[in-house]
């Protein structure tokens, strides 16, 4: 981003904070990712855009039908989902482990839900991979920070394409991913490994790759959490985080991945339940801030697609205005999709009442419904939504998909320190302790490494998962033998691993990552990952190879 543009946008943000009213919000303006009529020679007939029919459809809908399109609740059973579809005409539903069955059952259920709705449903799921994974049958990938360590847009795209294709095979057409937050706070309790890293440029590259992968698979993608959730020590599920980024800091650090998402044609952008006082002085969470959603996201970044709230069940958005006030305020702030209201009847009635009393204007309601229907048109839902239950199981967890995951995991393993050339381990007797030690022992044996008891070992391998400062005492407890520390969770554990001779990070304790670690430790695979965040006393970008 050129300095002149950066300064101009920062100045514009400052003007908004100083009191300028929010701008934008319609379907016109720069950056909108809605299809437009193709160009034609002067005098030639223009070809209508594929979604040209949608405004006419919206004009014929009742207020009750329009309001229903805004809501994406969760559901406890198929019967519960069908009630919400028929009574509230919801625009979508979200899957969680409690309402997902086998691939065949999930595909059949998706078909039944779509059949019950007059307008195709956005059937979504929170499948970020890594530590946020809701579909038990999809091919397992290590997650975003591991992808950050690969520094490969191709890997990010391939991982998203595989995940998206497996979701679409069971009728899920929307993934609330990728995470576009730039994680610069090691104490961040809610983002951490969900982020691609601490470098805005790296995050931007991988966000755009992931979006392309999801969309190639026919699944809508959602970049989250705007305006940026990467520098907080409070979990917005249980409290209301406050981030003290200035407009210039936001422009330099938080905005670039969302700009990249918009440039890549992202389908939705999810809001954050955070307060950023230097962007909006109201004290309201960004989900309810017109300055942030309409002023910054739509007006300054030019985004004209669907804005979805984060879950309205979360404490960060519920504290101030209550479950009836929040959805009304979110819509007037610039949100289109209301995700997981804790009390759907109450929220739905509140929005209907707000429209009928003029608190939400008809024009504002129509803007949101139009965006939602255009999204459904763009992802092909009006052309067909059916999944094939008979083929669903064969489409997930295929050998080819697992090979992609294996490659990503291997590319991500990062060698941070290797004093005296301690690694690779082949030819040494090794003892393993810590989380997932049994799995790692078995994987090392398959690679021909001699795994033995601590008393007989030449080298001790210690695994950690978010151990933090306790890592140091665990190293000391292993005695005087050389220690290799492998951080299977947050790489920040390596900040306390100074007593180890060698240190690595995998960013994941999944089976695919532990197997990749074993191949790197044994020397069967050379380490190629580079730190996506500062860790172990080394800067982001650091990574070692074997001699």
CATH number for 114: 3.20.20.300
Q: Is residue 314 part of a domain?
A: yes
Which of 230, 209, 122 has the alpha carbon at shortest distance from 163? 209
pLDDT value of residue 43: 65
According to DSSP, the β-strands at 268-271 and 220-226 are parallel
Q: Residues 329, 472: one domain? A: no
Q: Residues 515, 420: one domain? A: yes
Print the domain residue range for 473: 413-522
Last residue of one domain, picked from the residues 363, 395, 427: 395
pLDDT value of residue 235: 76
Q: Is residue 532 part of a domain?
A: no
Q: Is residue 294 part of a domain?
A: yes
Q: Residues 438, 322: one domain? A: no
Provide long-range contacts, Cβ within 8 A and 24+ apart, for 74-79: 74/99, 74/340, 75/99, 78/109, 78/112, 78/113
Token duo for residue 166: 């497996």
Q: Is residue 238 part of a domain?
A: yes
Q: Which residues pair with 174 in a beta bridge?
A: 124, 220
The full 3-state SS of 30-78, as one line of letters, equals CCCCCCCCCCCCCCCCCCCCCCCCHHHHHHHCCHHHHHHHCEECECCCH
Q: Residues 96, 225: one domain? A: yes
Q: Is residue 240 part of a domain?
A: yes
Last residue of one domain, picked from the residues 369, 395, 421: 395
- Give me the half-sphere count of Cα atoms (radius 13 Å) on the Cβ side of residue 478: 28
Q: Is residue 19 part of a domain?
A: no
Question: What is the DSSP secondary structure assignment for residue 129, as one 8-state letter?
Answer: B
Q: Residues 252, 292: one domain? A: yes
Q: Is residue 534 part of a domain?
A: no
Q: Residues 139, 174: one domain? A: yes
Q: Residues 245, 311: one domain? A: yes
Q: What's the burial of 364, exposed, middle or buried (CB within 10 Å: 0-12/13-18/19+)? A: middle
SS3 451: strand
pLDDT value of residue 26: 31
Contact at 8 Å (CB) between 222 and 266?
yes
Q: Residues 202, 93: one domain? A: yes
- Regions of the chain with pLDDT less than 70: 1-45
Q: Residues 312, 461: one domain? A: no
Which of 454, 458, 416 has the alpha carbon at shortest distance from 437? 454
SS3 143: coil
Catalytic residue (choose from 237, 323, 343, 388):
237
CA distance 485 to 503: 5
For the chain, the first-to-last Cα distance in angstroms comes to 37
pLDDT value of residue 318: 87
| Phi, psi of 483, rounded to the nearest 5 degrees | -115, 135
284 is a catalytic site residue = no
245 is a catalytic site residue = no
pLDDT value of residue 24: 30
- For residue 431, give the CATH number of its domain: 3.40.50.1700
Q: Residues 120, 222: one domain? A: yes
Number of domains in the chain: 2
Catalytic residue (choose from 179, 181, 231, 310):
310
pLDDT value of residue 377: 97
Which of 444, 439, 426, 443 has the alpha carbon at shortest distance from 465? 439
pLDDT value of residue 316: 81
Q: Residues 261, 320: one domain? A: yes
Which of 114, 113, 146, 111 has the alpha carbon at shortest distance from 128? 146
Q: Is residue 186 part of a domain?
A: yes
Last residue of one domain, picked from the residues 395, 428, 455: 395
Predicted TM-score of the model (pTM): 0.91
pLDDT value of residue 47: 82
Q: Residues 312, 209: one domain? A: yes
């Amino acid at each position: 981003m050129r300095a002149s543009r950066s300064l101009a946008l920062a100045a514009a943000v400052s003007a908004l904070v100083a009191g300028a009213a929010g701008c934008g919000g319609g379907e016109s303006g720069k950056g909108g990712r809605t299809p437009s009529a193709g160009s034609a020679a002067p005098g030639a007939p223009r070809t209508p855009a594929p979604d040209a029919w949608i405004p006419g459809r919206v004009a014929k809908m009742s207020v009750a039908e329009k309001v229903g399109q805004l809501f994406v609740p969760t559901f406890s059973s198929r019967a519960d989902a069908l009630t919400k579809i028929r009574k509230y005409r919801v625009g979508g539903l979200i899957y969680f482990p409690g309402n997902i069955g086998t691939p065949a059952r999930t595909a059949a259920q998706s078909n039944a839900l779509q059949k019950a709705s007059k307008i195709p449903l956005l059937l979504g799921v929170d499948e970020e991979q890594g530590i946020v994974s809701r579909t038990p049958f999809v091919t397992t990938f290590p997650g975003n920070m591991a992808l950050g360590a690969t520094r490969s847009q191709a890997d990010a795209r391939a991982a998203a394409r595989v995940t998206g294709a497996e979701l679409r095979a069971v009728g899920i057409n929307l993934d609330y991913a990728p995470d576009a937050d730039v994680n610069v706070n090691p104490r961040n309790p809610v983002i951490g490994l969900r982020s691609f890293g601490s470098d805005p440029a790296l995050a931007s590259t991988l966000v755009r790759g992931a979006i392309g992968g999801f969309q190639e698979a026919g699944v809508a993608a959602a970049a989250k959490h705007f305006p940026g959730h990467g520098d907080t020590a409070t979990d917005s599920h249980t409290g209301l985080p406050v981030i003290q980024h200035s407009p210039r800091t936001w422009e330099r650090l938080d905005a670039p991945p969302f700009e990249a998402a918009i440039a890549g044609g992202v389908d939705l952008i999810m809001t954050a339940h955070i307060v950023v006082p230097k962007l909006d002085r109201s004290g309201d969470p960004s989900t309810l801030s017109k300055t942030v959603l309409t002023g910054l996201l739509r007006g300054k970044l030019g985004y004209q697609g669907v804005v979805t709230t984060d879950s309205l069940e979360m404490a960060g958005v519920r504290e101030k205005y209550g479950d009836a006030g929040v959805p009304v305020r979110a819509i007037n702030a610039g949100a289109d999709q209301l995700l997981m209201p804790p009390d759907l009847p109450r929220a739905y009635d509140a929005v209907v009442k707000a429209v009928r009393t003029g608190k939400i204007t008809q024009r504002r309601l129509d803007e949101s419904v139009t965006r939602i229907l255009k999204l459904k048109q763009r992802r092909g839902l009006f052309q067909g939504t059916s999944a094939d239950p008979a083929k669903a199981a064969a489409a997930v967890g295929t050998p080819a998909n697992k090979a992609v995951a294996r490659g990503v995991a291997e590319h991500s393993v990062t060698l941070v320190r290797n004093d005296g050339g301690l690694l690779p381990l082949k030819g040494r007797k090794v003892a393993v302790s810590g989380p997932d030690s049994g799995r790692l022992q078995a994987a090392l044996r398959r690679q021909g490494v001699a795994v033995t008891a601590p008393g007989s070992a030449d080298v001790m391998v210690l695994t950690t998962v978010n151990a933090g400062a306790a890592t140091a005492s665990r190293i000391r407890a292993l005695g005087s033998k050389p220690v290799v520390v492998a951080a299977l969770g947050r790489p920040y554990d390596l900040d306390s691993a100074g007593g180890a001779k060698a240190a690595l990070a995998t960013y994941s304790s999944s089976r695919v990552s532990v197997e990749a670690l074993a191949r790197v430790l044994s020397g069967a695979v050379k380490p190629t990952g580079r730190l996506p965040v500062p860790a172990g006393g080394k800067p982001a970008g650091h990574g070692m190879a074997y001699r």
